[in-house]
Amino acid sequence: MINKNRNEIIKRYRFLIAMLVITLIILAVKPALGIEIYGRAWSNILGMMAVLPPIFILIGLLDVWVKKETMVKYMGKDSGIIGILLGFFLGSAAAGPLYGAFPVAAVFLNKGSRLANVWIIVGAWASMKIPLLLFEVSSMGIKFTLIRFVMDVFGVLVIAYSIESILTDADERQIYELARKMSQ
């Protein structure tokens, strides 16, 4: 039993373990570079710790306040244009870095959202944030911003629906299952 759990932990965290071993070797061979690597890693961890708690609080509130039936109605398979527009709005209004989108996506999937609508949220989160658009207008001009925005809308839609159409039923079930495990 203990060996099984240990093997599962090693399998699950094998990339992290490999990176720790590699960076420890670098630290031993080139201490200055190793110290810089660990300094940047620590800085990234502190940055994540500043962003993730508010995201998890919002996720918890979303999970408790929004009923599954409501989510299915507005973001489910038959949500149509409402689901698409809501996906774009939620993604572009979201705050925080892209890694914050994945726990949010898991909650949406657990509540019965359509995969394409969740991909739209993640795509909009990555490329269409409202503060980015405002900054872009002031620095690059309205013409550039509108062209990029329209291309992003079409790009996100093409990617979201292409991914959804390429996935098999087994792939889709696996994604929903992974989202369920992520939320436990």
57 inside domain: no
Burial class of residue 4 in the structure, from the number of CB atoms within 10 Å of its CB (0-12 exposed, 13-18 middle, 19+ buried): exposed
**Predicted local confidence at residue 2, as pLDDT:** 62
Do residues 105 and 172 share a domain? yes
56 inside domain: no
Distance CA 175, CA 108 (A): 12
In the chain, how many domains are there? 2
Do residues 136 and 92 share a domain? yes
DSSP element (H, E) containing 171: helix 169-182
pLDDT at 29 > cutoff 90: yes
Do residues 40 and 91 share a domain? no
Burial class of residue 148 in the structure, from the number of CB atoms within 10 Å of its CB (0-12 exposed, 13-18 middle, 19+ buried): middle
Do residues 74 and 38 share a domain? no
Q: Are 128 and 152 in contact (CB under 8 A)?
A: yes
158 inside domain: yes
Instruction: Tell which wins on pLDDT, 66 or 111.
Output: 111
59 inside domain: no
Q: Are 100 and 47 in contact (CB under 8 A)?
A: no
Give me the chain's average pLDDT, please.
88
Do residues 74 and 45 share a domain? no
Do residues 47 and 70 share a domain? no
pLDDT at 58 > cutoff 90: no
Q: What is the DSSP-derived secondary structure letter of residue 79?
A: -
Do residues 41 and 106 share a domain? no
Do residues 87 and 166 share a domain? yes
